[in-house]
Amino acid sequence: MAESNPGIRSLYEEASLVLGYDIAALCFEGPVERLNLTEYTQPALLVSSLASLRAFEPLGITPVAVAGHSLGEYSALVAAGGLTYREAVAIVQKRGRYMAEAVPLGTGLVAALLGLTDIVKKLCREASAVGVVAAANFNSPGQVVIAGEKAAVERAIELAKARGCKKAIPLPVSVPVHTPLMQKAADRLAGDLAGIAWSDLKIPLVNNAEARLISKAGDIQASLVRQLPSSVLWEDSVKAMAAMGVTTFVEVGPGTVLSGLIKRIVPDAVTLNVNDPKSLEATRAALSA
């Protein structure tokens, strides 16, 4: 979409000025090794998501609520008018850097546990005898992501398999985000967040840390600080939107992972996505039907 849409192309150009490198080249040409480092992954995902949003905006659809999974919360805040695009690019770059510096590369591990939910916190407490491990993401019924120090996560996986875990999948994430290991990064980020002139949201956000609606500028900063060392309550967030009467969810940005999770949480929901021209047209047709 970037090649054929000047408005989208300008987003990549503006972000490159903020970041100090060509984000479009990194996104479309790699190298993958650099793109997989969280300091670069996070701006790339933010810019790509907001490029998809730029393509979606001409449809004239105003959501009743927004939400984002982890980093996606920043894209949601831009969509809701909480901060400017340039501010988001700059703060996300710092967030990625602080996260990378909080835990030495190679010492952390992230894994998805399938088939367990209720006892994951207990398993993490048991495994914490050998290091830090916590439930990082409650993604959907039967899917919880754990993260922490490598030995402790491996111990938690052993315990989970002994308690009936169907599958444990190591994830290609370079840092154990949403665990207490990120408190140092959160403390550093808090100072930068305090320097942003936040605006009240035009559309309420269901936040990650508590799965509650927030819309006041004064609540955003503290919520984002809590987000880094806390679990992402994605399942509860989707349920909260469903309780508001939301029946159609549009995932905006790379991939369709969240659409899949939403269908598991609210099986009757309509899930659409926008990440390329084909999906944009399909979503346009579905929303105008």
Catalytic residues, which ones? Answer: 70, 178
As a whole number of Å, the end-to-end CA separation of the chain is: 24
Q: Which is nearest to 109 in space by CA: 172, 162, 34, 184? A: 172
- The span from the CA of 68 to the CA of 51, in Å, is 15
- The span from the CA of 13 to the CA of 81, in Å, is 21
Determine contact, residues 74/207, Cβ cutoff 8 Å.
no
Determine contact, residues 65/148, Cβ cutoff 8 Å.
no
The one-letter code for the residue type at 218 is: G
Determine contact, residues 214/220, Cβ cutoff 8 Å.
yes
Q: Which is nearest to 180 in space by CA: 117, 135, 126, 235? A: 135
Q: List the structure tokens of 149.
A: 């120090």
- The span from the CA of 209 to the CA of 190, in Å, is 15
Q: Is 231 helix (H, G, I), strand (E, B) or coil?
A: coil
135 DSSP β-pair partners: 146
Which residue is listed with tokens 């991939």? 255
* Sequence-ordered list of residues with C-beta below 8 angstroms from that of 287, at least 6 positions apart, any chain: 59, 61, 248, 250, 272
Angle between helix axes 257-265 and 234-243 (nearest 10 degrees) is: 60
